[in-house]
Amino acid sequence: MIRIGNCSGFYGDRLPAMREMLEGGELDVLTGDYLAELTMLILGRDRATDPSTGYARTFLTQLRDCLALALDRRVRIVTNAGGANPTALVAAIRELGLPAKIALVRGDDLTARAAELGLGRPLGAHAYLGAFGIARALEAGADIVVTGRVTDASLVIGPAIAHFGWQRTDYDRLAGATVAGHVLECGTQATGGNYPFFTEIEDLRHPGFPIAEISADGSSVITKHPGTGGAVTIGTVTAQLVYEVQDARYAGPDVTTRLDTVSLRPDGPDRVAIEGVRGEAPPPDLKVCLTSIGGFRNEMTVVLTGLDIEAKADLFRRQFEAGLPVRPAELTWTLSRVDSPDAPTQQQASALLTVVARDPDEKKAGRAFANAAVEVALASYPGFFATTPPGRAHPYGVFTAGYVPQEIAPHEVVHDDGTVEPIDPPRVHQPLEPLPGPAIPGPAIPGAGVGPTRRLPLGTVAGARSGDKGGDANVGVWVRRTEAYSWLVGLLTEDVVRGLLPETVGRPIRITRLPNLLAVNIVVEGLLGAGVAYHGRFDPQAKGLGEWLRSRLVDIPESLLEES
């Protein structure tokens, strides 16, 4: 067995977590995931401003405090904190002056070649590399492995490959480690963070970070250090498994993992076993994260209080647009009716009207936008005021996904002594195709679909977690009782989803069933516009989309309702 922990789920996660994990119990490897689509844009802009930056500086802060402790405990560290400039991070670690062997995994940065590869001229173009470079670095004795853009799960798969000596075609083992890596990658989301049934967890003030105990056959147990907060349960692990996935085939550069084969079982307090995972040959192409500056963005929200909300909104909209010397390329309005009649407080009597401008020209989204808002301040609807004064326009980012053949990215390991070792791409590939959905299981209890029902929030019996995949949003929905699954599958059809989530109307929806997890995954294409940095909706990362779905009223069979 190899025991792999996590101390970061994003750039900005809990700073003391590295020390907590090193001091809290036994570990073989400690991983830290610092990258996301938005983070790559931020780090790319940092590097463009200062070529010595472009990496996650908080990791260096953690390492300055904890590297001696990690070396003393013989815990090896694997991280993607190198971001857009892993070479600079390696140099900064060496300046700490401790006798650590440091390896660099590189080859993901295709920015200079983007145009010739048909990827346009983005600010950054980074391929999602696999885990075999990390494995070779560890096999050669590295204490610290720094990468740029690898898949999140590769941080866990790589140490497992090195520990067990897995080969390229050990697809089931690689897939099992992929699932463990997917559970660990977002840190405390696996131990009760952002969990829909959070009131059931005794202590969430300071949840512990997750650990995967991976065995030679690829199976694993998810756990955490004793005495830490949060919980590891079938539910918390399921919630992370359905987060930011698109299909039952979960593609990676080393293996395509069949999420429909994942089985979970309890293995004691705060221990969940993951078994039965099957894998297939990886697709022939690597996904490439393309980040660009899309233009300039400005936003203002005005408050509408009391009576005649719709008329007040219409007046301000007409006045504002008439005051614009030139209309921006995009101008969107959103009226949020959060007001209530005969409200006991002014805030409860108020609605919010938000206007957003986007344009390639900073002036059209900046000064002209601000002037149009300010000039009507004393000439508009009664009770006019804004949540914040109008300000300057700010650049916004755009994320798109590109694809290149696996052999295009020069996957390499730079060992501690400076020698460079190329990592060959996989020789066997399998085109990625969606799986046909499994047959809907029959009703597990008599009358599950036709007996007496009560109209209640879906979340009464179902959990959900949602997130972003570029411009798409996913919502994974699951139930905790086998007999409820056939009802859930029958309920969540495309038409019903559109009715429960009206913002999805007109957008393609894909629904995948994952019976082993008692889950249904919903992908809404294009809901987030051009990605999180585009800020295309009120919830730009779709983090709350699942909770909105859980709050919607549906007819639930009384036979499925648990007694209080």
Q: Which residue in 239, 129, 254 sits closest to 183, CA to CA?
A: 239
Nearest of 471, 398, 402 to residue 118 by alpha carbon = 402
Which DSSP string do the residues of 219-268 spell out, in sequence order?
A: -EEEEE-TT-BS---HHHHHHHHTTT--SSEEE-SS-EEEGGG-EEEE-S
Q: How far apart are CA 49 and CA 21, in angstroms?
A: 34
What pLDDT does 436 receive?
67
pLDDT of residue 17: 98
User: What is the secondary structure of 18-58 as a DSSP string?
Assistant: HHHHHHHS--SEEEE----HHHHHHHHHHHHH-TT--S-HH
Is the pLDDT confidence value at 187 over 90?
A: yes
> Which pTM value belongs to this model?
0.92
Specify the higher pLDDT residue, 438 or 412.
412
Q: Spell out the domains of the chain, with CATH numbers in brackets.
A: 2-235+265-289+401-422 (no CATH), 294-398 (3.30.70), 453-560 (no CATH)
Query: Cα(61)–Cα(99) distance, rounded to whole angstroms?
Result: 17
pLDDT 10s digits, 355-382: 999 999 998 888 889 899 889 989 999 9
Q: Which segments of 306-433 are extended strands (E)?
A: 330-336, 350-359, 385-386, 394-405, 412-414, 420-422
Residue 19 has pLDDT above 90, yes or no: yes
Which pLDDT score is estimated for 442? 47
Where does the pLDDT of residue 521 fall: very low under 50, low under 70, confident under 90, or very high at 90 and above?
very high
pLDDT score of 533 = 65
* Most confident region among 1-15, 385-399, 520-534 by mean pLDDT: 1-15
Q: What is the pLDDT of residues 404-416, one digit of tens each?
A: 999 999 999 999 9
Tokens for 513? 């069933």
Question: Is residue 441 over pLDDT 80?
Answer: no
Task: List, for residues 153-163, the tens digit of each pLDDT value.
Answer: 999 999 999 99
Residue 415 pLDDT: 98
pLDDT exceeds 90 at position 449: no
- On the question of pLDDT at 211 being above 90, the answer is yes
The pLDDT of residue 389: 83
Confidence of residue 562 (pLDDT cuts 50, 70, 90): low
Average pLDDT on 267-280 reads: 97
Averaged confidence pLDDT in the chain: 93
pLDDT greater than 50 at residue 477? yes
Residue type at position 165: G
Tell me: pLDDT of 190 over 80.
yes
Q: Residue 319: is its pLDDT beyond 80?
A: yes
What radius of gyration do the chain's Cα atoms show? 25
Residue 138: pLDDT above 60?
yes
Distance of alpha carbon 254 from alpha carbon 16, whole angstroms: 32
Sheet holding 278-280, edge to edge: 249-251, 256-258, 278-280
Residues of the chain with pLDDT > 70, as a percent, come to 96
Encode pLDDT of 65-109 as tens digits. Answer: 999 999 999 999 999 999 999 999 999 999 999 999 999 999 999
pLDDT > 50? residue 352: yes
